[in-house]
């Protein structure tokens, strides 16, 4: 179901415009000078309303974050959250993650966060899953040496699928966990996303893994 466009969208977007990731003529994101070294960037794909990426940007004020979200109004809410918090180390790109390799310099990303990615349960839509081989191969071109992908989801079907695709695509998995909130070590610095809070309150356990290139 499509969301009705938010009222005053143009004004609201204008209010937070400084937080947009600016793209240059060649279509690449212009990494803000304030971000310093280009090779120190963490990204979240499908940031939703932004609680997680804002939490990370607050937790690590010396690190830099770019959030990607394809739904304009959802992205706008995330930007408003970052703006209200006065964050300067995060930028937002409104668009589809399939364009990522055209948007960022090769091997410039230290961390990818995939939080509660859409499960696309039908087989015919499997290519859209952010942990499909198509995406996992694309991420390889973005990841810096020793980079990590952090993935969490309440959806066990997507999680089990992803365990297979990460392995198939040559990633090494660690800290694979089927109940993140009951793991004292792994959940110590966990920032709950909006979806995570909603679904864990409904009784779903949260699955979690870390993936690195061999």
154 binds ligand SAM (CB under 6 A): no
Helix axes 51-59, 72-84, angle to 10 degrees: 30
Question: Looking at 16, 64, 68, 91, which residue binds ligand SAM (CB under 6 A)?
Answer: 68
Q: Are 188 and 150 in contact (CB under 8 A)?
A: no
- 15: phi then psi, degrees, rounded to nearest 5: -65, -25
171 binds ligand SAM (CB under 6 A): no
For residue 99, give both structure tokens: 């364009």
Question: Looking at 64, 108, 165, 193, which residue binds ligand SAM (CB under 6 A)?
Answer: 193
Active site residue 118: yes
Helix axes 133-142, 156-168, angle to 10 degrees: 60
CA 192/CA 121 separation, integer angstroms: 23
Residue 117 Cβ vs ligand SAM, minimum distance, rounded to whole Å: 6
Based on CB atoms, which residue is closest to ligand SAM, 36 or 121? 121
71 binds ligand SAM (CB under 6 A): yes
74 binds ligand SAM (CB under 6 A): yes
In Å, how far from its chain's centre is CA 65?
Answer: 10
Q: Are 78 and 115 in contact (CB under 8 A)?
A: no
Residue 191 Cβ vs ligand SAM, minimum distance, rounded to whole Å: 10
Based on CB atoms, which residue is closest to ligand SAM, 79 or 214? 79
For residue 190, give both structure tokens: 């966990």
For residue 54, give both structure tokens: 């804002």
194 binds ligand SAM (CB under 6 A): yes
C-alpha radius of gyration, the chain, whole number: 17
Based on CB atoms, which residue is closest to ligand SAM, 145 or 203? 203
Of 14, 26, 96, 118, the active-site residue reads: 118
96 binds ligand SAM (CB under 6 A): yes
Active-site residues: which are they? 118
Contacts with ligand SAM, residue ranges (CB under 6 A): 45-48, 68-71, 74, 96-98, 115-118, 193-196
């Amino acid at each position: 179901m499509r969301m009705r466009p938010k009222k005053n969208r143009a004004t609201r977007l204008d209010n937070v415009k400084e937080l947009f990731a600016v793209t240059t003529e060649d279509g690449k994101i212009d990494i803000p000078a304030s971000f310093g070294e280009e090779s120190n960037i963490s990204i979240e794909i499908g940031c939703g309303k932004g609680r997680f990426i804002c939490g990370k940007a607050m937790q690590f004020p010396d690190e830099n974050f770019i959030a990607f979200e394809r739904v304009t109004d959802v992205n706008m809410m995330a930007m408003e959250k970052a703006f209200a918090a006065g964050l300067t180390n995060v930028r937002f790109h409104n668009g589809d993650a399939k364009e990522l390799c055209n948007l960022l310099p090769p091997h410039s990303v230290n961390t990818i966060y995939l939080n509660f990615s859409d499960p696309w349960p039908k087989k015919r839509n499997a290519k859209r899953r952010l942990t499909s081989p198509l995406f996992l191969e694309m991420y390889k071109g973005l990841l810096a040496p020793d980079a990590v992908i952090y993935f969490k989801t309440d959806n066990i079907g997507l999680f089990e699928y992803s365990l297979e695709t990460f392995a198939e695509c040559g990633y090494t998995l660690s800290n694979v966990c089927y109940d993140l909130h009951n793991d004292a070590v792994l959940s110590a610095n966990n920032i709950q996303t909006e979806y995570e809070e909603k679904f864990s309150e409904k009784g779903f356990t949260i699955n979690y893994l870390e993936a690195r290139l061999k």
